[in-house]
Amino acid sequence: MSALAMQVALVGNPNCGKTALFNRLTGSRQKVANYAGVTVERKAGVVRTPSGRSVQLLDLPGAYSLAATSPDEAITRDICLGQMAGEARPDLLVCVADATNLRLHLRFVLEVRALGLPMVLALNMCDAAAKRGIVIDRASLERELGVPVVETIAVRADGAAALLRQIDGPLPPLPAAAAPADLHAEVRRLLALAVTVPRRTGEVDDALDRWALHPVFGLALLAVVMFLIFQAVFSWSAPLQDGIDAGVTALADYLKSVLPDNTLRSLLVDGMLVGTGSVVVFLPQILLLFLFILVLEESGYLPRAAFLLDRLMVGAGLTGRSFIPLLSSFACAVPGIMAARTIQDPRDRLATILVAPLMTCSARLPVYALLIGAFIPEQTIAGIFNLQGLVLFALYVAGIVSALLVAYAMKLIRRDSIEHALLLELPSYRVPHVTDVMIGLWERASVFLKRVGGIILTLTVLLWFLSTYPTAPVDFAGPAIDYSYAGRIGKALEAVFAPIGFNWQICIALIPGLAAREVAVSSLATVYAVSATGDAAAGQLLPLIAAQWSLATALSLIVWYVFAPQCVSTLAVIRRETRSWKIVGIATFYLFALAYGASFLTFRIVSALT
Amino acid sequence: MEQRLRDLPLRIDAIVERVEDATVPDPIADRLRDLGFVSGEPVRLVARGPLGGDPLVVQIGYTRFALRRAEAARVFVRMAA
């Protein structure tokens, strides 16, 4: 340990509070990345010990056993064994066990002890254990295990002090390496010797689960929770989004007023600023949705939701675990597809990734809002329902139903009869801790912005180029965009899209819509030579298209957007997460085929009826 | 009387007898044993899924797991006296 900082790794079962302990020890000095070659998150940070030493701390993925059954568990095993390329074998293992769940967690502790590395056992959540009347004889546990045992309370400021002192001191001697023949028998012996448990389950858990898992009340509760989330995400974020939109517009106007009118200004303002601004506008929605998901995750409710929906999802060729990624996809498919990492089964994970783009992401809302506003009359149905609202709701339902149908079709095509396990732990309910939620929110937001920001920025610059060059000669009649590459591509595309009722203006708007779907609205505005951006554009555009498009064309475009394959960020993240161009090809092709087929039918049927 | 965990009535205390391999090898059965489904362990069914009674929520040791019926069919239990 001369020049290099000491390497310490946190290992433990899932739900042992390991990440909360990691946050407590490292605070903001942590870095999230991926392990080389796999999409398993690598969390590392620096700990300052009381004596002022710096220690490298690695948070290993939770594992039930070193006999790994998932990529996460394989990473944990490989690092503990020193077989992971590019990772040093840790100098010290801190094995974390939930003091309220020792029957399960001690078995893994015994497995880890047999690895032959210096190790400390951290009994986490000692406060919760004490509250439930669980008494642990720390000294005799330490004696019987032959490793130092410290008590920790990850959610309390000084809760890791004893652990820090232990890390700061000399390395503990290697534990006696021999693993007992029967780990379960040894766990029972240790429990009988050192632990007193008044009752096996938490009374709070029992009471809450009686409602949360109930076949009727449980589903009703889930529906209420979902409704509240959607309500909050779409109504609370509106003022923030308007604020960001106004800020971007103001900045663009300011830059336009101070910069000379040349190509550079156009690139900076029309290309980069407005392009990235159109994505940042969705950040409040995405953050709010993440906030709800994190709080639900921390509280222990999400696995319960997965339990309630598992049967339905399995029927459609997915798994209960698909629920969280698909829920995230309502904000944006990019974080949704990333969240599919929590699904260990490769087949279930792939199916989830492939249908995630069918969830109605928030980028489609501006397009829906424009088209519904222009073509669906504002009238009341059955006395209480607003027709426009009903159409919007129907579009969301259409997305969900088509996702289930596509997953079901994939299940029929695959026809594999291998059993895929659920084996999902329902952890104890916990009150979410503010710091942990905030750190989680920050991590997800920064990962999202980094990934999307790069792609969007590159593409908007490219699309700006396509729609600006070649510049129209002065005597050119009509909008300048007609003369540009984008205009020419749009005209060429019209041949492809005429059968589904799209005119060349729509075809042009679809091109910048590749970078971000909602850009299609401002592009339409540009094509129709409306000189405004954002909301104002929609305001002027609405009567224009209402007068010029047929109802069949409008409905066809709405249906197109239900499937809308043209989101480059989504395709890029599918490539990243699956490491396969073939999957990207399949996703693009099937979404395009669905969109084209459905729009074709819509256009033909509505044309025939009107 | 030995019976499958899958068929146990709700909220009745039982003891795990054994976990049977459904295939050779059976990684799901191995994982069940790792999670504590071993002979002598107290177990009970806490809930059944809203659709077709699948999956099940099982209390084993101090922990709750959701298991599909096919997974729970591997576990044989005996009702506690």
Between β-strands A92-98 and A119-124, what pairing exists: parallel, antiparallel or unpaired? parallel
Interface contact A189, partner B, CB < 8 A: no
Chain B environment of A209 (Cβ under 8 Å): 46-47, 57, 64
| Helix, coil or strand: residue A572 | helix
CB–CB of B62 and A423 under 8 A? no
CB–CB of A214 and B47 under 8 A? yes
- Residue A421, CB half-sphere, CA atoms under 13 Å: how many? 19
pLDDT higher than 70, residue A289: yes
Pick A143 or A156 by higher pLDDT: A143
Interface contact B12, partner A, CB < 8 A: no
CB–CB of A100 and B71 under 8 A? no
Instruction: Give the Cβ contact number of residue A483 at 10 Å.
Output: 16
Chain B environment of A69 (Cβ under 8 Å): 27, 31
Per DSSP, A262 falls in state S
pLDDT average, residue stretch A289-298: 86
Q: Which of B64, B65, B74 to mutate to test the interface with A (most CBs of A within 10 A)?
A: B64
Q: B55: cis peptide before it, omega within 30°?
A: yes
Q: In the predicted model, what is the mean pLDDT of chain A?
A: 85
Q: Which of B16, B57, B63 to mutate to test the interface with A (most CBs of A within 10 A)?
A: B63
Closest by alpha carbon to A482, among A512, A525, A527, A514?
A: A527
pLDDT-based confidence at A455, cuts 50/70/90?
low
Q: In the predicted model, what is the mean pLDDT of chain B?
A: 92
pLDDT average, residue stretch A366-395: 83
Query: What's the confidence (pLDDT) of residue A529?
Result: 56
Query: What's the confidence (pLDDT) of residue A538?
Result: 58
Chain B environment of A104 (Cβ under 8 Å): 35-36, 61-63
pLDDT average, residue stretch A277-305: 83
- Residue whose pair of structure tokens reads 């099940």 in the numeric block: B56
Pick A176 or A69 by higher pLDDT: A69
Pick A378 or A153 by higher pLDDT: A153
pLDDT higher than 60, residue A602: yes
CB–CB of B54 and A307 under 8 A? no
pLDDT, tens digit (0-9, with 9 covering 90-100), for A396-417: 899 999 999 999 999 898 877 7
Chain B environment of A426 (Cβ under 8 Å): 57, 64-66
How wide is the angle at C-alpha A533 spanned by C-alphas A532 and A536, nearest 5°? Answer: 70
Instruction: Give the Cβ contact number of residue A380 at 10 Å.
Output: 9
| Helix, coil or strand: residue A426 | strand
CB–CB of B62 and A64 under 8 A? no
CB–CB of A201 and B62 under 8 A? yes
pLDDT, tens digit (0-9, with 9 covering 90-100), for A486-503: 788 888 888 999 999 998
Which of A205-219, A260-274, A362-376 is predicted most confidently? A205-219
Strand-pairing partners, residue A12, are A96
pLDDT average, residue stretch B50-69: 92
CB–CB of B35 and A64 under 8 A? yes
Q: List all residues 6 or more positions away from A122 whose beta carbon is below 8 Å from its beta carbon.
A: A21, A94, A95, A96, A97, A150, A151, A152, A163
pLDDT, tens digit (0-9, with 9 covering 90-100), for A312-353: 999 898 999 998 889 888 878 888 898 888 888 888 999 999
Chain B environment of A427 (Cβ under 8 Å): 64
pLDDT-based confidence at A536, cuts 50/70/90?
low
Distance between CA atoms of residues A338 and A346, nearest Å: 14
pLDDT, tens digit (0-9, with 9 covering 90-100), for A211-245: 999 999 999 999 999 888 877 777 787 788 888 87
CB–CB of A103 and B36 under 8 A? yes
Chain A environment of B61 (Cβ under 8 Å): 101, 103-104, 200
A 56-75 residues inside an 8 A Cβ radius of B: 64-65, 67, 69
Kindly report each contact of residues A451-457 with a partner whose C-beta sits within 8 Å and lies 24 or more positions away, as own/partner. Answer: A451/A334, A451/A569, A451/A572, A451/A573, A451/A576, A452/A279, A452/A332, A452/A334, A452/A569, A453/A276, A453/A279, A455/A515, A455/A568, A455/A569, A455/A572, A456/A275, A456/A276, A456/A279, A456/A515, A456/A516, A456/A569, A457/A272, A457/A275, A457/A276
pLDDT average, residue stretch A187-202: 89
Pick A31 or B17 by higher pLDDT: B17
pLDDT average, residue stretch A495-519: 82
pLDDT average, residue stretch B45-50: 94
Distance between CA atoms of residues A572 and A357, nearest Å: 12
| A31 neighbors A45 (Cβ within 8 angstroms) | yes
Tell me the C-alpha to C-alpha distance, in Å, between residue A300 and each of A205, A336, A337: 10, 19, 22
Interface contact B64, partner A, CB < 8 A: yes
Report the gap between the CA of B42 and the closest CA in chain A (Å): 10
Report the gap between the CA of B1 and the closest CA in chain A (Å): 24
Report the gap between the CA of B32 and the closest CA in chain A (Å): 8
Chain B environment of A101 (Cβ under 8 Å): 61-63
Chain B CA closest to residue A300:
B64
Distance between CA atoms of residues A144 and A141, nearest Å: 5
Interface contact B25, partner A, CB < 8 A: no
Among A104, A201, A315, the residue with its CB nearest the CB of B36 is A104
Pick A219 or A37 by higher pLDDT: A219
Both tokens assigned to A533 = 């951006």
CB–CB of A69 and B55 under 8 A? no
Interface contact A425, partner B, CB < 8 A: yes
Chain B CA closest to residue A101:
B62
Interface contact B32, partner A, CB < 8 A: yes
Among B36, B57, B63, the residue with its CB nearest the CB of A307 is B57
pLDDT higher than 90, residue A284: no
pLDDT average, residue stretch A158-174: 90
Handedness of CA A532, A537, A543, A549 (dihedral sign): positive
Among A320, A419, A423, the residue with its CB nearest the CB of B31 is A423
Q: Rounded to a whole number, what is the distance in angstroms from the first to the last CA of chain B?
A: 10
pLDDT higher than 80, residue B51: yes
Interface contact A165, partner B, CB < 8 A: no
| B46 neighbors A303 (Cβ within 8 angstroms) | no
Q: What is the ipTM of this complex?
A: 0.95
pLDDT, tens digit (0-9, with 9 covering 90-100), for A540-595: 677 888 888 999 999 999 999 998 766 777 888 898 888 899 999 999 999 999 99
pLDDT higher than 80, residue B53: yes
Both tokens assigned to A8 = 């310490």
Query: What's the confidence (pLDDT) of residue B3?
Result: 94
In B37-53, which positions are buried (b, 16+ CB within 10 angstroms) versus exposed (e)? Answer: bbeebebbbbbbbbbee
pLDDT higher than 50, residue A40: yes
Distance between CA atoms of residues A346 and A337, nearest Å: 13
Residue A92 has phi, psi (to 5 degrees) of: -145, 135
How many interface pairs between A and B have CB atoms less than 8 angstroms apart? 108
Interface contact A52, partner B, CB < 8 A: no
| A591 neighbors A583 (Cβ within 8 angstroms) | no
Distance between CA atoms of residues A236 and A312, nearest Å: 31
Distance between CA atoms of residues A508 and A491, nearest Å: 8
CB–CB of A103 and B27 under 8 A? no
Query: What's the confidence (pLDDT) of residue A469?
Result: 78
Query: What's the confidence (pLDDT) of residue A90?
Result: 94
Q: A470: cis peptide before it, omega within 30°?
A: yes
CB–CB of B61 and A103 under 8 A? yes
